[in-house]
Structure 1
Amino acid sequence: MSSFNGATVLVVGGAGFVGSNLVKKLLEQAPARVVIVDNLLSADISNVPDDPRVEFIRNSITDDAVLTALPGNLDYVFHLACYHGNQSSIADPLADHENNTLTSLKLFERLKSIGSLRKVVYAAAGCAVAEKTFQGAEATREDAPVSLFHDSPYSISKLIGEMYGNYYFARYKLPFVKARFQNVYGPGEILGAGRWRGTVHTVWRNVTPTFIWRALHDEALPVENGGIASRDFIYVEDMARGLMACALSGEPGEIYNLASGVETSILELATRVNSIVGNVTPIALTPARDWDRSGQRFGDPAKAREKLGFVATVAHEDGLRKTIDWTRANRERIIGCMRSHVAQLPDVARYS
């Protein structure tokens, strides 16, 4: 099978930001059936495509009834569910375990008996293997050494998922492929989507949508530690294509960085967003986050390019413009999700 034409596909976490964009790309290739399992902990139902080929199950993949009812003829599985993100996992490590570790173990245990599987693609975390440095980053390769000391339960959980997948690959020949994410951004990431998860980061989640929203409201962008931290920003449609390449061309047992290979500082990001939007409010410099030692990092895309034929094609500024346009067009949808947390975060009431 060189495409997803006629395939039966499971996307765990398919209502989320990355998952929903992946589902839309999959539907372009005429699959027979796409099953989404998502408990909407950090996602919104509006992200689920209205398509007769899509079956949506609103529940956790840890639920035994859900696992038992999974189709026995699955061709591909994408495991994207997680407890979003680092700050929420620090606030509630047990919830992270329930939604970011147990999900992987129970899913892989169920999948080991499905003989039709061609590939199981796992969303791994590039941050979990990147060098902890503020002294200048080098591109992180797939074979980078893994430390036993981590900044968050989220990072630990994502590595445990890799380890469980490796075990099921070695023991049961589960066709397991690891796709190491960098910092994904783009349309579909809704501030406030899902249920309250204990911290303000339920609303103010990743840096790009936060900066875009604040810039559109002429607010100061909060840049920590002088903005010297850096990330590898990859547009969500590129990420979706990369995940599909992992499923179609990835070698079981292997790891592939899905990365742009371009290092961008947070100060550069803030400046770029303000410039595109036309926000003249000065950037607000704030202290460094006390938990984050992973200051500067970006991924090495060479292996994915060579082995999968995957290259991220959307330039950062172009991707930001598309994301800003989407944010403007979906303002009411975003406000609705943000205001659902007004009891815990009264400040969001100012957006109307």
Structure 2
Amino acid sequence: MRVLVTGGAGFIGSHYTRRLLAGDSRSAAPSQVVVLDKLTYAGNALNLDSVRADPRLRLIVGDICDPVAVQQAMRGIDVVVHFAAESHVDRSITGSGEFVRTNVMGTHTLLHAALGAAVTRFVHVSTDEVYGSIENGSWPETHPLAPTSPYAASKAASDLLALAFHRTYGLPVCVTRGSNTYGPYQYPEKVIPLFVTNLLRGRKVPLYGDGGNRRDWLHVDDHCAGVRLVAQRGTPGEIYNIGGGTELSNRELTTRLLSATGADWSSVQPVADRMGHDRRYSVDTTKIREELGYAPAIPFPRGLAATVDWYRQNRQWWSPASDALSRA
């Protein structure tokens, strides 16, 4: 089996690639893994260092919006796992054009090439943010889409496009919608690595609004395990929510991060709330649990402690990015 991982040098994509090459006893190891990544600010070839010597790995530096690069990467591929995306909400608010280009047009380029290559499975990795905000309960996969940010809207559009390629052309597409994901190798613009790296440097951290926005937290290893189950056994044309099962307010999360880094509330700087900031996300994971046997394996306290330790021990990986963000 030959697998194409788009965005495979990014945070979740590189973890998926490393896990895929490591293999497990439940599935056949791939004969080849092709990573297609533009290596933007959030993509880093160093994220693949631990598997770079594996002869099955091939890294192609290219843009998913470029038909030539995509055709080259798609050649001989059986399964596509599509992680590549612009994903930071704050960046989408200040500049939405690149999000539409990459997330919508890039996905279309990949879908068109996958159809021509007759792939056996195309997994489109999306986000719970496409549902908008939910006051109580949890979203099932059938919940209407109501994205708030330009990022979420671009992902919702790409979800619908991917599903349309299944319904119109018969392309075997599955869509996954994961909740807030954390873990090692995450670029320090997202809340957990931003707070951890700032606190490790003795800097203040920005807490939006009243800190009451609530998110479900999912370790990257559990997220990748869910995506791999969908790649192996998901039903074409179906959507699968992937959640971690730990819901926290941003204030509660901040408290845990302060404790983990030995800081206190004097390190927290309240800031004006983000425009269009959704209040609460929560996904119903009944479908993936009952159909595919998914269950998160990493309890949040253990996953968070390990993540903080990773950033503490890998300052050389994140320091340049942290410095760049502080100058922006």
On whether the aligned pair clears a TM of 0.5, the verdict is yes
Give the Cα–Cα distance (whole angstroms) in 2 for the partners of residues 283 and 307 of structure 1.
Answer: 45
Q: Which residue of 2 aligns with 1:200?
A: none
How many aligned positions are there?
319
Q: What secondary structure is seen at the aligned counterpart in 1 of 2:207?
A: strand
Q: What per-residue deviation string (whole Å, max 9, x for no partner) do you get for residues 185-243 of structure 1?
A: 0011132xxxxxxxxxxxxx211111111222333432222211110110001111111
How far apart in 2 are the matches of 1:299 and 1:68?
Answer: 35
Tell me the equivalent position of 2:83.
Answer: 80
2:64 matches 1:64: no
Per-residue deviation, 1:68 = 2.3
Alignment of 1:307-322 (within 5 A): 307-322=291-306
Counterpart CA distance in 1 for 2:169 and 2:257 is: 47
1:237 to 205, 221, 246: 221
TM-score, normalization: structure 2? 0.92
Residue 174 of structure 1: aligned partner: 171
Tell me, yes or no, if the aligned pair for 1:260 and 1:299 is still in contact at 8 Å: no
2:4–2:33 Cα contact (<8 Å) kept: yes
Amino acid in structure 1 at the alignment position of 2:114: L
> How far did residue 142 of structure 1 move?
1.1
Distance 2:121 2:101 in 1: 24
After superposing the two structures, state which structure 1 stretch, 284-293 or 327-336, moved more: 284-293
Partner SS state of residue 111, structure 1: helix
Q: Is 1:52 aligned to residue 55 of structure 2?
A: yes
Q: Match for 2:133 among 127, 131, 134?
A: 131
Unaligned runs of 5+ in 2: 24-28
Which amino acid is 1:304 matched to? I
Deviations 1:295-319 (A, max 9, x none): 1122111111111111111111111
Instruction: Give the Cα separation in 1 of the matches to 2:152 and 2:288.
Output: 22
Matches within 5 A, 1:31-46: 31-41=30-40, 42-46=42-46
Match 2:13 to one of 8, 11, 19: 19
1:11 is matched by which residue type in structure 2?
Answer: V
Select the residue among 87, 103, 110 that pairs with 2:106: 103
Q: Which has the higher helix share?
A: 2
Q: SS of the counterpart of 2:90? A: helix
Quote how far apart the aligned CAs of 1:273 are: 1.2
AA aligned to 1:219 is: R
Determine the C-alpha separation between the residues in 2 that align with 1:219 and 1:312.
33
- How many angstroms apart in 1 are the aligned matches of 2:73 and 2:271? 47
Q: Which residue, 116, 119, 142 being the options, matches 1:113? A: 116
- The Cα shift of 1:140 comes to 1.8
Shift of 1:175: 0.7
Q: Give the superposition deviation at 1:288.
A: 4.4
Alignment of 1:1-352 (within 5 A): 7-29=1-23, 30-41=29-40, 42-48=42-48, 49-50=51-52, 51-115=54-118, 117-131=119-133, 136-147=135-146, 150-191=147-188, 205-282=189-266, 284=268, 286-339=270-323, 341=324, 345-346=326-327
RMSD: 1.8
Shift of 1:73: 2.8
Query: Given residue 17 of structure 1, which amino acid in structure 2 is its aligned partner?
Result: F
- Do the aligned partners of 1:137 and 1:297 also contact (CA within 8 Å) in 2? no
Q: State whether residues 36 and 73 of structure 2, in contact with CA within 8 Å, keep that contact through their aligned partners in structure 1.
A: no
Separation in 2, partners of 1:216, 1:121: 37
Q: CA deviation at 1:83?
A: 1.2
Cα distance in structure 1, aligned partners of 2:143 and 2:243: 15
Q: Secondary structure of the equivalent of 1:264?
A: strand
Deviation at 1:281, TM superposition (A): 4.4
User: 1:285 offset after TM fit, Å?
Assistant: 5.2
Tell me how far apart the structure 2 counterparts of residues 12 and 81 of structure 1 sit (CA, whole Å).
5
- Which secondary structure does the structure 2 equivalent of 1:113 belong to? helix
Percent identity of equivalent pairs: 29
Residue aligning to 2:26: none
> Please, which moves more after superposition, 66-75 or 48-57?
66-75
Q: Is the 8 A contact 1:224 1:289 kept in 2?
A: yes
> 2: distance between equivalents of 1:91 and 1:71?
33
Are the structure 2 counterparts of residues 284 and 337 from structure 1 closer, same or farther at C-alpha, using a change threshold of 3 Å? closer
Give the structure-1-normalised TM-score.
0.86
C-alpha separation in 1, matches of 2:199 and 2:286: 34
Q: Give the unaligned 5+ runs of structure 1.
A: 1-6, 192-204, 348-352
Query: How far is the alpha carbon of 1:283 from its aligned partner?
Result: 5.2
